[in-house]
Amino acid sequence: MSNTIHDMGGMHGFGPVEEEANEPVFHTKWESRVYAMNRAMGPLRLWTIDEGRAAQEALHPAVYTNASYYQRWLLGLEARALQHGLVTKDELSSGKALEENDRPNRIFKAEDAANLTRSSFDRDPQGEPVFKAGDKVRTLNINPQGHTRLPRYARDKIGEVEAVRGCHVFPDSVANGKGDDPQWLYTVVFDGQVLWGSDAEPGIKISIEAFEPYIEAI
Amino acid sequence: MSIDEDRGQDHSHGHSHEHGEMSELSDTQLRVRSLETVLAEKGYVDSAALDAIVEAYETRIGPQNGARVVARAWADPEFRRALLEDASTAVNTMGNVSPVGSHLIAVENTVERHNMVVCTLCSCYPWEVLGLPPTWYKSAPYRSRAVLEPRAVLSEFGVTLPDETEVRVWDSTAETRYIVIPERPEGTDGWSEEQLAELVTRNSMIGTGLAQRPDGKTEDS
């Protein structure tokens, strides 16, 4: 889902940004296990990173807001494990495996933690990039039911292409089960007043990473 | 409403409930333990591998890596140029920083422009060079306000910039990841990379802080 609580840019009412002095990497052991489970499950390629994001975005807004970051990761992982039939509700309730399953061929092992680098999202392009640095563009006014990475505050706004970042997996496709559908990715920058009107703070510019289907020439 | 609602249990924050002394935190603990046990018994995760991932982020992979990158950029103009050109490739030539994958981008603060990074849609962050993000970076206040009123947010971090300095906010809406190269503090001529790295705070690489000054005073807290 796109127009829900996770799309927070520009919202009011959440209060000041509060920094915690000497914050540990993880506050509790369970946070570290949730993080590690998510990382270890990724390489099994049962789902994509965008499907993982979409699972959190599908949470009810009240649940999303009240849950901590790692609680959301827990809920998203549970939801995907259930959706993909890896576990059953009864197993999660009882805390033990109750049904036989086909074992995955390869799982993440301790030695794999020596290399936790990110994989590449580059894909072979389906054509040349339509835009180049310096082009003025307008973002589309889209409100899809499915996953997107075009935030609401930057829809139907005029900006400038600053850089071409390569041809990447298209989240709006892959998160919705429609394959990589590679698209050119651009950094598009907006003046603060374009986004926020005449009361915008002076001298601010905001950029997003925009896939080619998000923008049109003007 | 709590995260347990979808199991028909409404354990509201801070209120006593049917489990008596059991806090919501321990409900979450039990739920995590249950998920890990089931996934491990079914062969999807190996608990020793989970230990290794946690250890990596608690020891090897943290802002000390980014600080070494920044210090090298300050000390070595050729490296700085390569870093701004292609940060993933440049960082992997260093040798004293754990390896990084694709799509890392370095942006440089100058007198004319101050850079600041956010992810309004989730909490994307350059894990490989900064480790896992602090809670404030993942919080609704930062995600909502960094794009709307970055100067106000900066002032809450103790950073006040002249109006002539443009504030540029990078919303990490795709798989590109940004690290800010803060300005090198004055009075550090001739310092070694190791000395310089000590001045590079995590917040200065997110853009909510400045590098420390050599007199030990922080300008960002």
Q: What ipTM was reported for this prediction?
A: 0.96
B contacts of A151 (beta carbons < 8 Å):
120-121, 171, 173
DSSP state of B8: T
Please report the pLDDT score of residue B5 as a whole number: 40
- Please tell me whether residues A93 and A140 are part of one structural domain: no
Mean pLDDT, residues B145-160 taken together: 97
Could you give the dihedral angle defined by the CA atoms of residues B172, B140, A191 and B114, in that order, rounded to the nearest 10 degrees? Answer: -70
Would you call B51 an interface residue with chain A, using a CB distance cutoff of 8 Å?
A: yes
User: In 3-state terms, what secondary structure has residue B116?
Assistant: strand
* Model confidence at B19: pLDDT above 50: no
- Please tell me whether residues A109 and A144 are part of one structural domain: no
- Distance, CA of A107 to chain centre: 24
Residue (of A171, A194, A107) closest to B47 by Cα position = A107
Q: Domain of A57?
A: 29-113
Domain assignment of residue A34, yes or no: yes
Q: Which two tokens stand for residue A38?
A: 């998510």
- Please tell me whether residues A102 and A144 are part of one structural domain: no
Mean pLDDT, residues B166-191 taken together: 97
Proportion of chain A above pLDDT 90, given as a percent: 88
Domain assignment of residue A119, yes or no: no
Mean pLDDT, residues A168-178 taken together: 94
Would you call B110 an interface residue with chain A, using a CB distance cutoff of 8 Å?
A: no
CATH code, domain with A187? 2.30.30.50
DSSP state of B200: -
Domain assignment of residue A8, yes or no: no
Distance in Å, alpha carbon of B190 to nearest chain A alpha carbon: 30
Of B26, B47, B122, B192, the active-site residue reads: B122
B contacts of A154 (beta carbons < 8 Å):
171
Nearest chain A residue to B12, by CA: A66
* Model confidence at B221: pLDDT above 50: no
Mean pLDDT, residues B164-175 taken together: 98
* Model confidence at B136: pLDDT above 50: yes
Instruction: Please report where in the chains the tokens 């480790």 appear, as a residue.
Output: B131
Of B88, B124, B172, B204, the active-site residue reads: B124
Give, rounded to a whole angstrom, the gap between the first and last alpha carbons of chain B.
35
Domain assignment of residue A121, yes or no: no
**Of the residues A98, A113, A128, the one at which a domain ends:** A113
Question: Are B41 and A112 a contacting pair at CB < 8 A?
Answer: no
Question: Are B128 and A118 a contacting pair at CB < 8 A?
Answer: yes
Which region holds residue A158: left if phi is over 0, alpha if psi is between -120 and 50, else beta?
A: beta
Question: Are B147 and A40 a contacting pair at CB < 8 A?
Answer: no
Domain assignment of residue A196, yes or no: yes
Mean pLDDT, residues A69-85 taken together: 95
pLDDT tens across B79-117, in order? 999 999 999 999 999 988 888 999 999 999 999 999 999
Would you call B160 an interface residue with chain A, using a CB distance cutoff of 8 Å?
A: no
What is the distance between the alpha carbons of residues B110 and B105, in angstroms, rounded to a whole number?
A: 16
B196-217 as b/e: b if 16+ CB within 10 A: bbbbbbbbbbbbbbbbbebeee
Distance in Å, alpha carbon of A49 to nearest chain B alpha carbon: 10
Question: Are B45 and A37 a contacting pair at CB < 8 A?
Answer: yes
The boundaries of every CATH 3.90.330.10 domain in chain B are 62-206
B contacts of A108 (beta carbons < 8 Å):
45-46, 49, 53
Q: Does domain B62-206 have CATH number 3.90.1150.220?
A: no
Question: Which of A101-105, A117-121, A163-167, B96-100 is predicted most confidently?
Answer: A163-167
Domain assignment of residue A178, yes or no: yes
pLDDT tens across B195-213, in order? 999 999 999 999 999 999 9
Nearest chain A residue to B57, by CA: A25
Which of A8, A28, A87 shows the shortest C-beta gap to B144?
A8
Q: Is B119 a catalytic residue?
A: yes
pLDDT tens across A181-216, in order? 999 999 999 999 999 999 999 999 999 999 999 999
For residue A78, the one-letter residue type is: E
Please report the pLDDT score of residue B25 as a whole number: 56
* Model confidence at B13: pLDDT above 60: no
- Please tell me whether residues A106 and A159 are part of one structural domain: no
Residue (of B129, B76, B70, B132) closest to B103 by Cα position = B129
Q: Is B16 a catalytic residue?
A: no
Nearest chain B residue to A13, by CA: B141
- Please tell me whether residues A141 and A208 are part of one structural domain: yes
Please report the pLDDT score of residue A177 as a whole number: 87
**Of the residues A51, A80, A113, the one at which a domain ends:** A113
Distance in Å, alpha carbon of A218 to nearest chain B alpha carbon: 23
Q: Is B2 a catalytic residue?
A: no
- Please tell me whether residues A101 and A37 are part of one structural domain: yes
Number of structural domains (chain A) is 2
- Distance, CA of B158 to chain centre: 18
Proportion of chain B above pLDDT 70, given as a percent: 86
Give the full edge-to-edge strand order of the sheet including B113-118: A215-217, A136-139, A158-168, A183-191, A204-211, B166-171, B113-118
Query: Computed over its alpha carbons, how large is the radius of gyration of chain A?
Result: 20
pTM: 0.93
- Please tell me whether residues A152 and A206 are part of one structural domain: yes
Proportion of chain A above pLDDT 70, given as a percent: 100
- Please tell me whether residues A144 and A107 are part of one structural domain: no
Distance in Å, alpha carbon of A41 to nearest chain B alpha carbon: 7
- Please tell me whether residues A92 and A48 are part of one structural domain: yes
Question: Are B54 and A66 a contacting pair at CB < 8 A?
Answer: no
Q: Is B122 a catalytic residue?
A: yes
CATH code, domain with A103? 1.10.472.20
B contacts of A30 (beta carbons < 8 Å):
28-29, 32-33
B contacts of A201 (beta carbons < 8 Å):
149-152, 167
Task: Centre a 10 Å sphere on the Cβ of residue B194 and count the other Cβ atoms it contains.
Answer: 11
Domain assignment of residue A150, yes or no: yes
